[in-house]
Structure 1
Amino acid sequence: MKRRSSIDWYLMLPYLILSMLGIVMVYSASAGVGLSFGQGQASILAIKQAFYFFIGLGLVFCVNKFWFKLILSDLFIMILSVLLMGALLFVLIKGQTVNGAAGWINFGFFSLQPAEFCKFFFIIFFASILRKRQTDIEQYGLGETFKENKKPLAIPATILFLILIQPDTGGFAINFMIVFVILLASSTSWRTLRNWTALAAGFLVIFYGGIGFFAKFAENIHSYQLQRIVSFYNPFLHAQTSGAQLINSFYAVSNGGLFGRGLGNSIQKMGYLPEANTDFILAIISEELGLLGVVLVLGLIYMLIYRMIQLGRKTNNLQYSSICYGTAAYLTIQTLFNAGGAIALVPLTGVALPFISYGGSSMFTLSICFALVLKISSIERNQELQKH
């Protein structure tokens, strides 16, 4: 009998294409950075992004071959929680401030963002907790199970609080929503699902309903986070200040049309649109590669998300399904925040577009989470072969 490949190419191909496209787009979008820091800066950033990708690929290999059980062990999760709380406390005291948030540890040649690694931590932490309580959840429901013993929730609550007070509202929102989706997906009670969904819908109504009030209230307050809300509400009223980023993002998106101006031909990246290689890289993709380029990128991310949800539904192991759903939520929420921020559907949060935006912390975290799902896919495929 012909042996089937253990690699899930429905996951692997989108990951590889997105990562390589990310290197190309980081090089192209960094042209404006080169105007300020020298002609070779775009090449340096592209080389660093390629280095991050190869490190990420190495992490994928190591997790699949050697580290899978280690990463899911209680000892590793406990050590990681201590390290993350220590790192978050450190950045509050001595962290490098970027865009109003003291969320970075500067190592000279490389800056680390602890809040990014919290996303990975929350996925494996709650997957482990849910595995231990699977029987109780099935018997009594999610709410009753945690109502009886709230102690494990103290660690994630502390970490979320430390992220929020950096202040990193984008990081807090993404981490919180990853936890929310994992817990929601693990529930077997329709009543719990209904209540939690109603809670989420209520939050969205309050958020969008109150955004105008906060925008007016915050107009004269010189806070980076509040000014982002002001610019989100009406960027054209603040075209010379907090709204400039969004307006130039709109120009980039509209300039691209269906087919784009051509790779490397963006106008907005040449000093008009800040953070072109990170927060607004999708706007540059739209300008250079057009709507078709945006659809390609979002389509590849959707393929990853869809496949992860498929795997989560397929497995009977609650720990594995939680990892799949958590990683799918991570990709979905981060993509929505990045893409939504570029076209003013949500306030700017400074989050990376998965596998595309420049940055090591994001690439490493995403690669580890992706590797866990890839290994779960391999385990499920082998179990299917054994049955037949």
Structure 2
Amino acid sequence: MALRLVSDNSRKKGRRVSGDYFDYTLLFVVIFLIIFGLVMIYSTSAYQSAAANEGDSTGFLKKQLLATIIGIPVMMITIFVDYHWWEKFSFIGIGISFVLVFLVLTPMGLEINNARRWIKVGPLSLQPAEVVKIAIILWCSVLITHFMELHKKENIGRWKSMAYILSVPFVFAVLLWQVTSNLSSAIIVGGIAALMLYVADPDYKKYFFITIIVAVIAALIIAYAVKVTGDDGGASFRLKRISVWLDPESDASDKGFQTLQALYAIGSGGIFGKGLGGSLQKLGTLPEAQNDMIFSIICEELGLFGALAIILLFILLIWRCFIIANNARDLFGAMLVVGVMAHFAIQVVLNIAVVTNSVPNTGISLPFISYGGSSELFLMAEIGLVLNVSRQIGLQNNEDNTERVERVERRRRT
């Protein structure tokens, strides 16, 4: 970690002087994932794009590249604009998110694959769920910070305090589930808020019991889904997904088709894969190969070796976020990074779990790799916030070192 002392004149004049520290490891990991994602999007979508766009195999790639290009200045802004400045927009972000969620019900709403989750303005489309995620991270960071400044640290673990902090994320989780039929994003929003509160609360015991309760409820839902689908077949869409998750071959031509094709792709890749571009499942067999199921194509083309390499890169990304949060200048910065870290961790784990049929299919993208302009743009903004917090780690240490030097000088003079 590179540090430099802040001059006495700078401290006396009250100027903000940033340290030399910058987490280049995190930046390089993100750059690699973005570039790798563009390569894999072209690999997985070239055939379908050429068939749909009169021979143009770069249709999906162009759209993702445009979102990435737009995301670069956005990320630069969040890197170099002091993260404390965004604190004042926490309430505004919640209000904008609320409006955007309901805009999907208006003529601006865009329906894709029987799901109305996007809004369209001219040639651009936006998924409100991505705005909600970053708004919830900012909101919870502000709320937890203010709460812990006004009250004792132990009070944040009281049930009343937890309910107060989780109320807004819970409302948005329900809205995303019911209004946009986006259960996966609802789970992510709830998970982000819960993990941020878990990190802020020094009493971890209660979360163990909460986890047990959630596990019991999940087991009851699974048992109910199996019973309902087995009795009369009149279960809802999501209950059928749970039943198919347990036995995808029972509905191999419909609900279990995508899962089975993804597993075939993973199994056929072997240790080192068929080579980049060598996938057969992407040739119209595996639905949404460039979106939710792109990890299965990575396994098929690059094998177990390539899949583990990508997983290790995500682990490195999450670890760097952990280091930055642990050394953040203040609680607000730490909670911002924890929120982003929780977002990436939940989304990566759920995506890989869905592709490998470890959990029911919920339609979750793989960060920076799956196709999706809205996701790419806001993920880059979130990484910019993390790098912004990392830039000010040195500032706190600089001030501490300067004060230490001043104390030594005073002792020498006395």
Aligned residues of 1:77 and 1:125 also touching (Cα < 8 A): yes
Say yes or no: does 1:330 pair with 2:319. no
Offset at residue 385 of structure 1 (A): 3.6
> Which one of 276, 280, 305 corresponds to residue 292 of structure 1?
305
1:1-388 pair list within 5 angstroms: 5-34=20-49, 36-38=51-53, 40-66=55-81, 68-73=83-88, 76-94=89-107, 95-144=109-158, 147=160, 154-165=167-178, 166-188=180-202, 190=203, 193-208=204-219, 210-218=221-229, 220-221=233-234, 223-315=236-328, 317-388=330-401
Aligned residues of 2:153 and 2:201 also touching (Cα < 8 A): no
Cα pair distance change 1:243/1:153, threshold 3 Å = closer
- Separation in 1, partners of 2:235, 2:44: 29
1:328-381 Cα deviation digits (max 9, x unpaired): 110011011111000111111111101100111111121111111111011012
Aligned residues of 1:26 and 1:358 also touching (Cα < 8 A): yes
- Separation in 1, partners of 2:71, 2:82: 14
1:153-187 Cα deviation digits (max 9, x unpaired): 55433322211203211111110000000011001
Offset at residue 67 of structure 1 (A): 6.2
| Rg larger in structure | 2
Offset at residue 93 of structure 1 (A): 4.5
- Separation in 2, partners of 1:7, 1:298: 24
Aligned residues of 1:99 and 1:224 also touching (Cα < 8 A): no
- Separation in 1, partners of 2:274, 2:343: 31
- Separation in 2, partners of 1:316, 1:5: 14
1:243-273 Cα deviation digits (max 9, x unpaired): 0000000010011111110111100000110
Question: How many residues align structurally?
Answer: 382
Offset at residue 203 of structure 1 (A): 1.0
- Separation in 2, partners of 1:138, 1:360: 42
Please give the TM-score of this superposition, normalised by the length of structure 2.
0.86
Q: Secondary structure at the match of 2:282?
A: coil
1:103-133 Cα deviation digits (max 9, x unpaired): 1112353321101211111111010011111
Cα pair distance change 1:67/1:30, threshold 3 Å = farther
Aligned residues of 1:35 and 1:271 also touching (Cα < 8 A): no
- Separation in 2, partners of 1:272, 1:221: 28
Tell me the amino acid that sits aligned with residue 160 of structure 2: K
- Separation in 2, partners of 1:222, 1:41: 41
Task: Mark the runs of 5 or more structure 1 residues left unpaired by the alignment.
Answer: none
Q: Secondary structure at the match of 1:214?
A: helix
Aligned residues of 1:30 and 1:45 also touching (Cα < 8 A): yes
Tell me the amino acid that sits aligned with residue 189 of structure 2: N
Aligned residues of 2:196 and 2:338 also touching (Cα < 8 A): yes
Matched residues, percent identical? 29
Aligned residues of 1:35 and 1:270 also touching (Cα < 8 A): no
Offset at residue 6 of structure 1 (A): 4.0
- Separation in 2, partners of 1:81, 1:2: 37
- Separation in 2, partners of 1:163, 1:364: 19
- Separation in 2, partners of 1:207, 1:2: 49
Moved more, 48-57 or 96-105: 96-105
RMSD in angstroms over aligned alpha carbons?
2.4
Tell me the amino acid that sits aligned with residue 257 of structure 1: G
Q: Secondary structure at the match of 1:132?
A: helix
- Separation in 1, partners of 2:266, 2:102: 39
- Separation in 1, partners of 2:162, 2:183: 28
Aligned residues of 2:273 and 2:301 also touching (Cα < 8 A): yes
- Separation in 2, partners of 1:2, 1:249: 48
Aligned residues of 2:97 and 2:132 also touching (Cα < 8 A): yes
Tell me the amino acid that sits aligned with residue 94 of structure 2: S
Aligned residues of 2:269 and 2:303 also touching (Cα < 8 A): yes
Offset at residue 317 of structure 1 (A): 1.9
Q: Secondary structure at the match of 1:59?
A: helix
- Separation in 2, partners of 1:282, 1:50: 19
Q: Secondary structure at the match of 1:358?
A: coil
Aligned residues of 1:186 and 1:318 also touching (Cα < 8 A): no
Task: Mark the runs of 5 or more structure 2 residues left unpaired by the alignment.
Answer: 5-18, 402-414
- Separation in 2, partners of 1:41, 1:387: 58
Please give the TM-score of this superposition, normalised by the length of structure 1.
0.91
Aligned residues of 1:228 and 1:348 also touching (Cα < 8 A): yes
Offset at residue 387 of structure 1 (A): 3.3
Offset at residue 100 of structure 1 (A): 4.4
